[in-house]
Structures are given as structure tokens and as C-alpha cells.
Amino acid sequence: MSPSTAPTAELATPAPARPARAARPNGQWAVDGKEPLNGNEKWKQEDGGLSVRERIETIYSRDGFDSITDDDLHGRFRWWGLYTQRKPGIDGGRTAQLEPHELEDRYFMLRVRIDGGGLTTEQLRVIAEISTEFGRDTADITDRQNIQLHWIEVEDVPEIWRRLEAVNLQTTEACGDVPRVVLGSPVAGIAKDELIDPTPIIDAITEKYIGIPELANLPRKFKTAVTGHPSQDVVHEINDIGLVALTHPDLGIGFDLWVAGGLSANPRLGERLGAFVTAEQAPDVWHGVVRIFRDYGYRRLRNKARLKFLLADWGPAKFRQILEDEYLGYKLPDGPPAPRPTSPGDHVGVHEQKDGNFYVGAAPYVGRVSGSTLAAVADLAESVGSERVRLTPHQKLLVLDVPPAEVAGVVTSLRALGLEAEPSNFRRSTIACTGIEYCKLAIVETKETAKVAIDTLEERLGDITRLKPITLHINGCPNSCARIQTADIGLKGQLVMNDDGEQEPGFQVHLGGGLANQDRTEAGMGRTVRGLKVTTANLPDYVERVVRRFESERAGEESFAEWAATADEEALL
């Protein structure tokens, strides 16, 4: 073959470069426009959650549960504080296997929104009457300062609203993709050491912005906490916005601004923006932050739709710049952080008010009360001349304005009602979510589990005289309504293997978490030890064992959280 006809090697032609994949839109209204990217966003735009009230009053309460449409039942009802509760008898192993309509009962959990936690005795008595007449005498004080009722039928909801609104209470936006209840200091306006009363701020926010269409379609829920008390008693680090009182060296008393905290399955503590906010600016700043969430929050995926994900991408500096430039129209001055708390924020016990009267803070078992109990508390308060009660973000109840001569009697009478003003460490420091008794998301029971644990630990650990309160938070599922990542001992409900290799209800254990308090400078998440799980039946045994190990190894005044952070894994098992 001649050279002219010899075959030549073909050069490999490189494949054309693949164009970079365009980033998928996150559903940010201010960036991507308002086209809904999932079914939930679609129905919210077509017919917002606030609209369902008219249908409840005119159709569903007349025609009954079976007349409720799916979008209303599993969506818009939440805008008015209504969730279907769990059907009795469905074990936790089936929680993730069944559809909502298979899990739910024909009854509702109803949240009564109590911004700032303040109630008059008249309001408390109305809630109590609703509980006994319509809710089988159920009532729980939640860690959001709400009262939650159960066994509510849709036929009774209009009458319940009528009674609540007659005493200036509401269920508006107690749930849903909206600004939820505003946590406020339970001792606002009465504490001797209060820096500033935040009540006017809370009132301004709720009166102007709750129940308005402008803010009734957020990417997800939005949580608020405002306190003027140095104990920082509103768990601000895990709220979407927190305003914490402090004294600025040049500008006087105002608030340190925190944003974008949240727990659930992807926990993230809020962050300071380094900005100082005056009391007069506070409602405006709140409005700016919630509108940032509305306009820039991620809507495409609901599990990424909380404000904490936006802050993680932006960082505090950009968040503050957007807030000031696009929403406030003015710069906020820089400010220092609030000092470390010097006292417990649960307000349990007897405390003198600035007017010379006293308030008495008492602990039920993990928030579980009843309508009958609430009515008796109203009677007790009025019998000593008080007309005010407060709820706390720690599932506690306070009776205000008790004259000095009546304090001992109030403590004794509260004890007779199952409300302990001189509780054991574990009675004081344990909280629990609703659990499998009523919640469709739960895997395990929580309230009775907590009660058994408290009673058992009181008996077994009474010999440890120097033991400080150790927070024990019990949650029925991974969603952390009971704040498990910020507890000394946090328990996440799941099915676990027992010693016989069989599944039974139990918990994954988190250790050493906490928010800033008198024993802890900064908030921090708990430590998860691989394989550290405990059955419900063995829970008291485990807590006793780890607490005794702590007592034997602690160095001086070392706290449980400090010890748990560095202890050998063997010590924690």
C-alpha cells in the first residue's frame, strides 16, 4: 500500500463541554418570582389559610367532619390553631407507614394563642370551661406559652371562638406558615430586676400584624421571642427572631437582636446581628425580619424552608445589610451582647414583685393540667385578690399579685392541685411534647413516661444533696418540639432494640446541650453518642446511672453539660 493510500489515525474529537446546569430556583419570591413550586405553595396562593374560617363557620360546623375538603383539613385549618389528633390505638411503628387520613381521628387539637403568656383569671376560666364542655377536660401548657386542648369537634369550633374572642383571646395563626405566638417574659411588668417591660412591643406586633393577609403566607412557621428580664427567659436562641434586653453603654436600655434559630431535624442556633434595637424600633425591626423571610425564604422544599437555612447561606452581615437597606431604610447602631443570665428563667418558686406583692411559680407534670385544674387556679388567684396568671416557655404556671400574708396558703393550695412551687430538681427541669397520645407524628408516649421518670428519680436520687437541676427533655419524634438538642439529657423518640432483640418504644439520647443560663455562658447543642439508646421502660434506670456517674466524676462545681461534653463514651452508656 502506497503512502498516499495508507490509512491515517483519526484524532479523537473531544466531546462538547456540557453546559453548567442552571441552579434550580428555591422559590424565593424576591429572586425567582411567585410561581409556586410545590402543591403546598400552590394552594396557599390560590386560597390562603385565613379564608377557611368562613367555611368552618358556615359549612363544616353544620355538615360535620366528612364535609371538610383535604386542602382545608390538612392545610388551612392550621391557620386557626386546628390539627387533627391521632386516632387511638395506632402504635408508633406505623407512624411513618400510614397516610395522614389513616392516622387521624375525627377530633382536633386546638391551640389557644397566648402572646406573652399573660392571662386574666376571667380568660383562664373561659379556657377551663371550653376544656370541660368540649375537650373532655384536657389541657396542656405548651413550651410556647399556649394552652392546647384535645377532643375538639368541628361542630363546636364557632362557639369556642365566640367564647374566646369575648375575652380577647384567639386561635388565629396559632399554627401554619405564619407568625406564631410571640413568646414574652412571664414576669413582664412585675419583676424587681426587669430592665424593660416588653408588653407594649408584643401588643404592637400582635395587634398590627397577626391575622393580616400580608404575612399569612410565609415559607414556613416564624417564631418570635421578646424579653426584658435579665434571666433571658424566652429561649431566644432557638427562635426566628429574638429581642433580648440589655443596657447599651451609650444608648441606654434596648435590645440585642438575634435571628434564625430553630431545632427540629436540622438544628441551628440563632445568631446575633450585632445590632442594638430601641423599644420604639422593635416592632418595625420585627416586621422587617418577617418580611425578609416572606420574600427571600426558600419555598421549593419544605424541609429547607425555615429562616435558619437562609441565614446559613447569607451570614449575619448580609442579613443585617438587607434588613437595614431594603426593609428599614435606616442603619441600626452596633451593640454589645446581653450579659450572661444570673438567675433561672423558669421563675419557679416564690418571688417578690416590685410592688411588694409576690408571684408564685409552680410546676405541673410537664405541662399536663386539665380544665378543672385551670378553673381551680382561677378561683385560687381571685380568693387572694389576684386577677392575673402567666404561662412560661418551660411549661410552668405563675400566679401573680399574691399578698405577703397569702403566699404560704397559695403554695399549699397549688400543691393540692398538682402544681408544685417547691419541686424536686427533676419535676422542675423536665419538659415533654404531646407524644403519641394525640400527635400524628409521634412514635412514642411522652407525658406519662415523663411523670414516671420524675417520680422514680425523685425517690432514687434524693440522697444527692448538692445536685443542681438537670434538664430532661422528652420528645415523641425527631421534630424536637420539646427542644431535645438544648437539654442536659435530651430524648428523641424512636423504636429501639431491647435486650431480647425486639423493637419497643424508646429514645435516642443527646447529652450536654443547653441555652445560655446562670451556669452556662453560651448556648450549645447536645452530644450524640453513637448507639446510645434507651427503652422507655429503662429510662429511669439510665438517667439514674448517668447522673450518679456524673456525681462521682465531676470536678468541683462542674455542670452536667460540662462533664458530658468531655466524658468518655463508656461513662455515658
Tell me the three cell numbers of residue 407: 403566699
Tell me the three cell numbers of residue 538: 429503662
Alpha helices in 148-300 (DSSP H): 157-166, 199-209, 282-296
Q: Distance between CA 25 and CA 298 in Å, rounded? A: 9
Q: pLDDT tens digits, the chain, 573 residues: what are they?
A: 444 444 444 444 555 666 555 678 999 999 999 999 999 999 999 999 999 999 999 999 999 999 999 999 999 999 999 999 999 999 999 999 999 889 999 999 999 999 999 999 999 999 999 999 999 999 999 999 999 999 999 999 999 999 999 999 999 999 999 999 999 999 999 999 999 999 999 999 999 999 999 999 999 999 999 999 999 999 999 999 999 999 999 999 999 999 999 998 899 999 999 999 999 999 999 999 999 999 999 999 999 999 999 999 999 999 999 999 999 999 999 999 999 998 999 999 999 999 999 999 999 999 999 999 999 999 999 999 999 999 999 999 999 999 999 999 999 999 999 999 999 999 999 999 999 999 999 999 999 999 999 999 999 998 888 888 999 999 999 999 999 999 999 999 999 999 889 999 999 999 999 999 998 999 999 899 888 999 999 999 999 999 999 999 999 999 999 999 999 999 999
SS3 157: helix
**Residue 214 located in a structural domain:** no
Place of cell 429562616: 307
**Residue 365 located in a structural domain:** no
**Residue 509 located in a structural domain:** yes
129, 181 contact by CB (below 8 A): no
Q: Distance between CA 162 and CA 149 in Å, rounded? A: 16
Q: What is the CATH number of the domain that holds 534?
A: 3.30.413.10
**Residue 418 located in a structural domain:** no
Buried b (16+ CB within 10 A) or exposed e, 474-495: bbbbbbbbbbbbbbbbbbbbbb
442, 86 contact by CB (below 8 A): yes
**Residue 466 located in a structural domain:** yes
The boundaries of the domain holding residue 540 are: 428-572
Q: Is 509 exposed, middle or buried (0-12, 13-18, 19+ CB in 10 A)?
A: buried
Q: Distance between CA 258 and CA 235 in Å, rounded? A: 11
Tell me the three cell numbers of residue 553: 466524676
How many beta carbons lie within 10 A of that of residue 58, not counting itself? 11
Task: Read off the pTM.
Answer: 0.94
**Residue 513 located in a structural domain:** yes
**Residue 568 located in a structural domain:** yes
Q: Distance between CA 27 and CA 42 in Å, rounded? A: 12
Q: Distance between CA 470 and CA 547 in Å, rounded? A: 9
Q: Distance between CA 106 and CA 279 in Å, rounded? A: 45
User: H or E element: which one contains 225?
Assistant: strand 222-227
> What's the angle, vertex CA 528, arms to CA 222 and CA 242, rounded to 5?
25
Residue type, 365: Y
Instruction: State how many domains the chain has.
Output: 1
Alpha carbon distance, N-terminus to C-terminus of the chain: 82
Of the candidates 561, 493, 505, 570, the one whose C-alpha atom is nearest the C-alpha of residue 538 is 505
Torsions phi, psi for 355 (to 5 deg): -95, 5
Identify each DSSP E strand in 385-525 by its residue range.
388-391, 397-402, 430-432, 472-475, 489-497, 503-511
Q: Say how far residue 52 (Cα) sits from the centre of its chain.
A: 25
